[in-house]
Amino acid sequence: MKIAIQGLGEVPNPARLVLEEEKPDKSYVIASDYQLDYVCERRDFKEPNKEVIKTAAEEAGTELVIKKCDPFDLDEITDTIAGILEEISDEADEVLVNYTGGSANLRVVLGFTGVTLTRLCPTKIIYAVGYPSGPKIVTDNAEKLRDIYRRLNKLF
């Protein structure tokens, strides 16, 4: 089973792109009530982020699981992700970690999680952005981020 773990910020595009491009069987989206209820009018969305993500999940045939947490509290973020990892431990054949959306704290913890998971199971660490009249990028940065981790680790 292909499972995505994603953050959601004010712009729903990163999570939506992963749903559209990767079509995971299940996607966990981590966000606050504010982020779920926010309407990203500056990117021409007309409905709340929660509805944008629900629609994308339905179109991709993905089971959507929303996990609410304080996106600025590192302990709460870590506990939320740990809970997700416990839930998926027996069902994940591949894990997609999208570290593009959400608060800076959430993105950092998702990145750490992705790098750690690459040692345990097939994992993609996805960077996903798309602009209405600009580039659309959905790329797996797992090897690059593991290399950066190794290089930085050698410094200490």
The answer on pLDDT for 142 being more than 90 is: yes
pLDDT tens digits for range 17-64: 999 999 999 999 999 999 999 999 988 899 999 999 999 999 999 999
pTM, rounded to two decimals: 0.92
pLDDT of residue 92: 86
The answer on pLDDT for 132 being more than 80 is: no
Q: Identify the structural domains of the chain with CATH numbers, from first to last.
A: 2-155 (3.40.50.10770)
Three-state DSSP class for residue 147: helix
Helix intervals (H) in 3-141? 13-22, 33-37, 49-60, 74-88, 104-117
Mean pLDDT of the chain: 94
pLDDT tens digits for range 60-102: 999 999 999 999 999 999 999 999 999 998 888 999 999 999 9
Contacts of 2 (CB under 8 A, 6+ apart): 22, 23, 24, 25, 26, 92, 93, 94, 95, 96
pLDDT bin (cut points 50, 70, 90) of residue 135 is confident
Cβ atoms of 40 and 32 closer than 8 Å: no
